[in-house]
Amino acid sequence: LSKQLEPDAAAAAAAVGVSRRKGGRAKKAVLTNRSLVVSRRKQHRPEDPWQEYQPCTCSGRCTQDCPCVAAHNFCEKFCACSADCKERFRGCTCKAACRTAACPCWAAGRECDPDLCAGCAPTLEARDEGRPPPPRECHNMRMRLRQHAHVVLGTSDIPGAGWGVFAAHHVPKNGFLGEYTGDLITQEEANRRGIVYDHMNSSYLFNLNTEWVLDAKFRGNKLRCANHNDDPVASARVLTVDGESRIAIFAERDLAPGTEITYNYRYDDETAPRWARRKHHR
């Protein structure tokens, strides 16, 4: 993990996605969980990506036969099950900013949903009406509100890396740097492209879940050029927003203007390309 977890959170930490930069070689995005959501997550192997969410068609309350339960996902507002289904995610009732593992949404790897989180709805309403944020502003709806940091491209400080991405202004710790975007392709297509990218010594594949992969090779944003570092200043997290898996990049520390944005691709050392193995960074 890129930072120390709280004791109860560390015991339940789980990977929520696997991202790849070289063919079938994987890097991992890590999620911290608290006791409120451990029951849904504890059966999931940390090295595996989550299964894609598909709304269930259950009648009434869901049972263990529900496809959401079988996939270790929560039932969502898009499911056909009853509103009192115990498998439904209820949102949060936070009084703070929803940016720590104390928030069940953050702990479960989700952005807050104003339809479920009553305390977070005023933040969305203020944005829509062009008003200043309320005194209790939710900080866990950055992708939904498109509130990302300003980043710029430049020559990387890492020898031989080519392009890099830099913070254009000060970014606080845990600040949302932006969303990693690209073409949505199947795992099968990602494996095919990965073979080609290996020969090109270039790949922008990032796993979302068991079904889908993002490929930023041909279409993406500036964060596609963020480089690998064993001592990164940022981290990648796969978050659920309205039932969809999306990739968010967050600052792991306060970033001064001009800081190059790097994160750990989290390759397994046995399968990592030579340049990404830790012993070659020492």
Q: What is the pLDDT of residues 72-109, one digit of tens each?
A: 889 999 999 999 999 999 999 998 889 888 898 998 88
Which residue numbers in the chain have pLDDT < 70? 1-48, 267-282
Please list, in sequence order, all residues whose beta carbon lies within 8 angstroms of the beta carbon of residue 172, skipping any fewer than 6 positions away.
251, 254
Domains, in order of start, for the chain: 1-50+150-282 (2.170.270.10), 55-89 (no CATH), 91-147 (no CATH)
Q: Which of 121, 129, 156 is nearest to 261 (CA)?
A: 156
Task: For residues 135 and 262, give the distance between their C-alpha atoms in angstroms, rounded to a whole number.
Answer: 32
Check residue 151 and give its pLDDT. Answer: 97
Taking the whole predicted model, whether its pTM rises above 0.85 is answered as no
Check residue 8 and give its pLDDT. Answer: 35
Check residue 20 and give its pLDDT. Answer: 45
Check residue 65 and give its pLDDT. Answer: 94
